[in-house]
Structures are given as C-alpha cells and as structure tokens.
C-alpha cells in the first residue's frame, strides 16, 4: 500500500484543485475554463486509477471489498462526468463528486479491506465493471434528479438567483437526466445478463437479495423510461422514480458489503 501513496496524494490534490475551480466559478469568482477542469480531472483519474490498481491487488488478484468497490465506483462516476462534459454541461457536478472521490480514495489507501481476495477472471471482472458502471451512471442521474427538483422548486417560487442562475435550462437538465438513465439501463442489463451467464451464484443464499434488488432496480428504471416514452413523464415523477431505483441499486451493490465488513465483522 505504501507504493501507491504518492499516486493517492496526487489524485487527491488534483480532485481538490478541480473541485475548487468549479466552486469558484459557481460563485462567479473565476471564469469557467472547462478545458482546465477536464485536464485536472483527467490527471486525477490517471493517478487515482494507478493507486486503485494497487489497492485492488491487480493483476494477480481482485480484492473488492466495500472500500475498494466504493472507490472504483467514484472513479467511474468522475470519468463519466468528464466524458459527458464533451456534450453536456456536467462539469458543475465535479464540485461535489470530485471531493467525494478523493475521500473514498483516502480511505482505500489507509483502510485495507478485510474481505478475502478473489482470483481474477475476465468474466468476473467484466461483470463487476459493467455493474459498477451502471451504478455510477445512476448515481450521476440521482444527483441530476436532485438538481432538477431544486430547479423546479425555484422556478415555481420565481427564484431566479442562486443556483438557478448557473444551471442549464430545464429542458437541457431533463434531457441529460434521461440520457444518463438510458445509458445506465443498458449497462445494468449487461451486468445482470453477464451475471446469469458467467456466475452460478446469482440465487444462492448470500447473493439472492443482491440479485432481487438489482432486478427490482432494473424494472424501476425500465418503467420510468417506458413512462417517459409513452406518457411523457417528467419533473418530480422522474425525480422520484430515479431516486427510488438508485436506492435499490445502492442496497444491492453496497448494502451487503457494508453489513458484512463493518457490522457483522
């Protein structure tokens, strides 16, 4: 773990620098400079990835306890922020999510997981990455949904200052939310399907709740996307369904790991 410490410290510094610039921009103290934020964010991802590679025991093992899984999920979330920013105004999310990635990376550096390493197989790693990528997109969608709810509230009460003044138009926010949901649903479908193909433990006692919660989340997001296409669902309806499905995924992916490692242990 000591070998990864320089990468951990560099990644944290880059994350804090990127988030600080975005926060200063939102406070109208500095210009936007999206290219600068992307460069700093990309540097944070690179160093975070190198540190996480060591924390997970790769390439010979795959040690994915609660802390490592959370750090990997936050790495994916920040990567999706940067990728989406090439088409959509998502860099403002870095003000919250870059520091969160830094905190989880710091924990993974100094708090080694107590779970047993799992021998790495390509099929298992594919399933894990697909599932965590789906969760990361839905986590971004949840943040987007909360901002959309706040934006709706401010518009109804005719509050044109504060956060509303720096957010994109409502239609842009809703379009981005449903694009995140659609991409997340595709990845979640891939994760669930790969689990059924490559794993034989989807319905054993210790994994049954995860499988059922994942399927419930998949159904929730599927109904939301169908409602959007067929009935034009939007606004608070979309917010509630998004947060509900994301909560199911949070319990499926991280609930059992947290209970096993920090409560039952």
Does residue 120 surpass a pLDDT of 60? no
Task: Read off the pLDDT of residues 13-66 as tens digits, 9 standing for 90 and up.
Answer: 999 999 999 999 988 899 989 999 999 999 999 999 999 988 887 777 777 778
Residue 115 in this model has a pLDDT that exceeds 60: no
Q: Rounded distance, CA 89 to CA 215, Å? A: 31
The pLDDT-based confidence of 264 (bands split at 50, 70, 90) is low
Mean pLDDT of the 156-171 span:
71
Residues 184 and 188: their CA atoms lie apart, in Å, by 6
| Sign of the four-CA dihedral 229, 233, 235, 237 | negative
Size of the chain in residues:
265
Q: How far apart are CA 265 and CA 249, in angstroms?
A: 23
Tens of pLDDT, residues 126-160: 888 899 999 999 999 999 999 999 888 887 877 66
Report the range of poorest mean pLDDT among 68-77, 98-107, 145-154, 194-203.
Answer: 194-203
Cβ neighbours around 172 below 10 Å, total: 12
Q: Hey, where are the domains in the chain?
A: 1-119, 121-265
CA pair distance 17, 10, nearest whole angstrom: 11
**Structure tokens of 177?**
């939310």
Question: How far is 144 from 103, CA to CA, in rounded Å?
Answer: 21
Mean per-residue pLDDT, 69-78: 92
Which residues, including other chains, have CB under 8 Å from residue 72's CB and lie 6 or more apart? 52, 56, 64, 132
User: Which secondary-structure segment (H or E) carries 118?
Assistant: strand 118-119
pTM to 2 decimals? 0.86
Residue 188 has pLDDT above 70, yes or no: yes
pLDDT of residue 198: 80
Please state whether the peptide bond connecting residue 59 to the residue before it is cis, i.e. omega within 30 degrees of 0.
yes
């Amino acid at each position: 773990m000591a070998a990864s410490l320089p990468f951990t410290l560099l990644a944290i510094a880059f994350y804090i620098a990127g988030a600080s610039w975005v926060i200063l921009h939102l406070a109208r103290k500095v210009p936007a400079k999206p290219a600068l934020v992307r460069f700093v964010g990309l540097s944070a991802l690179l160093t975070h990835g190198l540190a996480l590679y060591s924390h997970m025991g790769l390439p010979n093992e795959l040690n994915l306890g609660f802390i490592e899984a959370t750090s990997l999920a936050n790495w994916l979330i920040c990567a999706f922020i940067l990728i989406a920013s090439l088409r959509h105004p998502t860099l403002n999310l870095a003000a919250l999510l870059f520091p969160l990635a830094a905190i989880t990376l710091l924990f993974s550096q100094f708090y080694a997981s107590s779970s047993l390493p799992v021998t790495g197989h390509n099929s298992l790693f594919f399933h894990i990455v697909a599932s965590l990528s789906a969760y990361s997109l839905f986590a971004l969608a949840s943040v987007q949904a909360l901002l959309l709810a706040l934006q709706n509230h401010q518009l109804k009460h005719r509050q044109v200052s504060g956060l509303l003044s720096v957010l994109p138009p409502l239609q842009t926010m809703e379009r981005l939310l449903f694009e995140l949901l659609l991409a997340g649903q595709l990845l979640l479908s891939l994760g669930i399907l790969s689990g059924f193909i490559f794993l034989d433990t989807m319905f054993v006692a210790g994994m049954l709740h995860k499988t059922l919660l994942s399927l419930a989340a998949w159904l929730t997001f599927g109904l939301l996307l169908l409602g959007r296409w067929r009935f034009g669902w939007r606004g608070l309806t979309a917010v509630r369904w998004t947060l509900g499905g994301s909560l199911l995924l949070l319990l499926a992916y991280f609930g059992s790991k947290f209970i096993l490692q920090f409560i039952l242990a």
